[in-house]
Structure 1
């Protein structure tokens, strides 16, 4: 194959002994049938003899895996039961190829390390909010106070004023407790000795509940019982038995319930249609403020009426006093 026209050139020895070899070569390459020194279809030439057209019918690859035959391959690739096979060449007739599937240990170790890291980050955030003290000297600013301050001063003030809103909050305490419970208790569905995080190298490193990972112990557990390690994290019990659920399933379940409880208590938006406990409380305060404004407006109107009546009375008295003083 050479040149800009991508022509294919085939050179053979023109000796008498090469004719049979040339015929066999062309026939095996499916470039045409050679008989008596001439080439017939599928390789054909135009009348001018300058161009050629090659037509050859292709056939689908056929693969048999575990007794089942597959012919719908795309780019010599096939996916069966979550495993992708890439076929490089055909196996000799009468032979089979053995495929061994092994757990990707490094990937699993990285996933566990990420779990421990994310768990500790979430725990740090919750502890930070739970232990964040309130600044008692920083009350909410009035509009007049904000008007007398710069934008930066207002932001810093409000940051202090909002601190401690979740100090020793009962909901946060329950969430932290649920997280510890989920990672410390054994997983009833996991068989054998690998039935809790401590058995595979994940333990608490301090009283705050932070997790630490022993990678060597984890790798040993994965090599010995990979299915058990998977059960510890991701098993979901069909009967919704909390003790049989994996750690990740427990966390998702408990945190989901806590979020629903928090939503019922505090709501999720600032919408006035919020029917949470705090939403109703805010609505009640707003109604009290509205009623108080109406009361003050009514009281103000009464004072104005009394003031006007008093002015009229004083004016009359002044007129009468002037009249008597002229007598």
Structure 2
């Protein structure tokens, strides 16, 4: 930039305005670059929005159809279709004694069940009040004499519970003893209720494997705490072992079946035992036609919503008359005007988009193809699900009567049609054996990968990994773009930004050149004016 700019002093011209007008023409190329960059950014946002729709569709369907369940750590894990709870319905003739639910694997029929024993663990409770005193106070007789040789045992009282050695000093209170048992002995819960002044101990589990084994010192301690134990007991040298009791049932003619818990599954029927029974309980299992139908309808409805939205996006034509606004154009518009303009300018971002169209076509083809090994109903049309007219663009239409009839006739085949797991591990063989929903999810994941290569992750990495844990591996490694974690649109945007930078640098040079020329002109005019003034003065003096 010139160190001295002279603006129209001699010429009377508005040099600033003239140069701004000249530069406005020159800046047209930068504006075009900026508009192109904005279009790329909008397209990237739109692709990311579509990928979020894909991901949420997969996750919603998995949850709705019980294809995933929450693990104990809060994560998602797959759930076999044999464990679905909506395929079979089951009733108990005595819910107060036997509560039931059915997995998809439950065989329809009528069953009888007798409860001979409930499963119990080992438990103990103080038979009368126990103050929160120290062990030094606990181990004294009626005369106040110590019943334990503290000095001879190093000032500690040592007990062994379930193989765990615990030590207490003379000043340890009852609540301290309970707290240590609870925190250090596996499989045992212990508590002290200060209001009731009672100690409570129990095993975490039930059944014959639930045990509390104590040595002589622990027995003396527990006697001092007035604990009375339930369960079976056996002497083992100087120790006593208390054991829980298994649940025992007769089921459909099979006698004395034992379980360690009152909650178990037999023949696909989930049982909860609540009480012993005096007479057999009747359990009836049937296919839940309405339950299965409702789940399939939910899938179809959500699929149709997704298809309708994507079809609308690829069919929406762009507004050629509405280009992205330049910074100069925005200066003369209100926020509301800018918002309305950009809504029109963003239209048609995915018009005739090949990636979306190819993904939709693959999804439709997968749903309409038969599932090898599914059984009698190996194709959607056989259970009353068809495509509509051309205008519906791949939406699914349900014939309710025909679908319910198929579910009642062969529920296993219908479930296989949607959820069958393939024996093949890759390629066409895997796809042909995959249930329609699993097949659809695989096609969606492939489409998502294509969009990720085009537009990146948009900050949705965790969402995408919930769909498939390794979905981002190829993108991170740069197998498609050649540059790890950089999408095609990211590369395009970087190239445009480089062009803008270079063009801005060129404009600075051009503007400086204009100022140099106009400044030189002003200086020349000043010199001419000075000479003219001098000549006039000389002529005036003659």
After superposition, where does 1:150-299 map in structure 2 within 5 Å? 150-191=334-375, 193-207=376-390, 208-239=393-424, 240=426, 241-269=430-458, 275-299=486-510
Q: Based on CA coordinates, which of the two structures has the bigger radius of gyration?
A: 1
Shift of residue 150 of structure 1? 3.0
How many angstroms apart in 2 are the aligned matches of 1:128 and 1:159?
Answer: 16
State the Cα deviation string for residues 47-102 of structure 1 (Å, max 9, x = none): xxxxxxxx8946553236678843433xx43345764213355467xx98775543
> Given the superposition, is the C-alpha separation of residues 87 and 175 from structure 1 closer, same or farther in structure 2, using an over 3 Å criterion?
same
Q: Is the 8 A contact 2:356 2:447 kept in 1?
A: no
- Equivalent in the alignment of 1:11: none
State the Cα deviation string for residues 158-186 of structure 1 (Å, max 9, x = none): 11111111111112211221121121111
Uncovered stretches (5+) of structure 1, i.e. residues with no partner = 1-43, 45-54
Single out whichever of 135-144 and 176-185 deviates more from structure 2. 135-144
Instruction: State the aligned residue count.
Output: 268
- Equivalent in the alignment of 1:72: 260
Q: Is the 8 A contact 2:431 2:439 kept in 1?
A: yes
Alignment RMSD: 3.1
Q: Is the 8 A contact 1:64 1:70 kept in 2?
A: no
After superposition, where does 1:115-130 map in structure 2 within 5 Å? 115-130=299-314
Shift of residue 228 of structure 1? 1.2
Q: Is the 8 A contact 2:246 2:258 kept in 1?
A: no
Structure showing the higher strand proportion among its residues: 2
Q: Is the 8 A contact 2:380 2:386 kept in 1?
A: yes
Q: Is the 8 A contact 2:372 2:433 kept in 1?
A: yes
> Given the superposition, is the C-alpha separation of residues 91 and 274 from structure 1 closer, same or farther in structure 2, using an over 3 Å criterion?
closer
State the Cα deviation string for residues 234-269 of structure 1 (Å, max 9, x = none): 123132311111110111101111111111112233
How many angstroms apart in 1 are the aligned matches of 2:301 and 2:341?
Answer: 33
Higher relative contact order (CA 8 A, sep 6+): 2
Secondary structure of residue in 2 paired with 1:269:
coil
Shift of residue 218 of structure 1? 1.8
How many angstroms apart in 2 are the aligned matches of 1:296 and 1:277?
Answer: 29
Q: Is the 8 A contact 1:130 1:166 kept in 2?
A: yes
Secondary structure of residue in 1 paired with 2:349:
coil
- Equivalent in the alignment of 1:141: 325
State the Cα deviation string for residues 269-325 of structure 1 (Å, max 9, x = none): 39xx96211111111111111111111001111222233333333333444444455
Provide the TM-score with structure 1 as the length reference: 0.72
Single out whichever of 138-147 and 168-177 deviates more from structure 2. 138-147
Secondary structure of residue in 2 paired with 1:219:
helix
Secondary structure of residue in 1 paired with 2:452:
helix
> Given the superposition, is the C-alpha separation of residues 303 and 324 from structure 1 closer, same or farther in structure 2, using an over 3 Å criterion?
same
How many angstroms apart in 1 are the aligned matches of 2:489 and 2:274?
Answer: 65
Q: Is the 8 A contact 1:274 1:280 kept in 2?
A: no
State the Cα deviation string for residues 4-56 of structure 1 (Å, max 9, x = none): xxxxxxxxxxxxxxxxxxxxxxxxxxxxxxxxxxxxxxxx9xxxxxxxxxx89
Q: Is the 8 A contact 2:248 2:256 kept in 1?
A: no
Single out whichever of 83-92 and 146-155 deviates more from structure 2. 83-92
Secondary structure of residue in 2 paired with 1:136:
coil
How many angstroms apart in 2 are the aligned matches of 1:57 and 1:164?
Answer: 74
Is the counterpart of residue 112 in structure 1 residue 300 in structure 2? Answer: no
